[in-house]
């Protein structure tokens, strides 16, 4: 797995969440400190305790039932803090607006 995506997954786990990548959203940057290629991301964020929902999500990816997970769809925005380290923020989306 790409190191930046693994970083995002690990940051989600610190919040007791599971992140599933959908796609890159631009703002590409190659971080000179880590050597990572980073960009904003989109995907789904689930509570780790909600194992049944996570299993259903994995099974239904790409099917007509996939629409049922709009409330879990999020964006991941990156930033570089004052120490030069990568930070991310999980931002909820409102897919009903699209």
Model-level pTM? 0.86
For the chain, which residues make up each domain, given as ranges? 3-97
81 φ/ψ angles, rounded to the nearest 5 degrees: -80, 180
Instruction: Compute the distance between CA of residue 8 and CA of residue 29 in angstroms, rounded to an integer.
Output: 15
Report whether 93 contacts 73 (CB < 8 A): yes
Numbers of helices and strands, H then E, in the chain:
2, 6
Q: What share of the chain is helix, strand, coil (3-state, %, to 5)?
A: 35, 35, 30
CA 84 to chain CA centroid, Å, is 21
In DSSP terms, 19 is beta-bridged to: 45
Report whether 95 contacts 73 (CB < 8 A): yes
Q: How does pLDDT run across 35-89, given as a tens digit for each residue?
A: 999 999 999 999 999 999 888 888 887 565 567 788 899 999 999 999 999 999 9
pLDDT in the model for residue 66: 61
């Amino acid at each position: 797995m790409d190191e930046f995506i693994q970083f995002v997954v690990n940051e989600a786990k610190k919040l007791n969440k599971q992140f599933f990548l959908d796609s890159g959203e631009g703002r590409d940057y190659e971080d000179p400190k880590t050597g990572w290629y980073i960009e904003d991301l989109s995907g789904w964020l689930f509570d780790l305790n909600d194992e049944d929902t996570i299993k259903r999500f994995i099974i239904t990816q790409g099917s007509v039932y996939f629409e049922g997970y709009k409330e879990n769809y999020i964006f991941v925005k990156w930033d570089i803090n004052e120490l030069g380290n990568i930070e991310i923020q999980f931002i909820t989306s409102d897919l009903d607006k699209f």
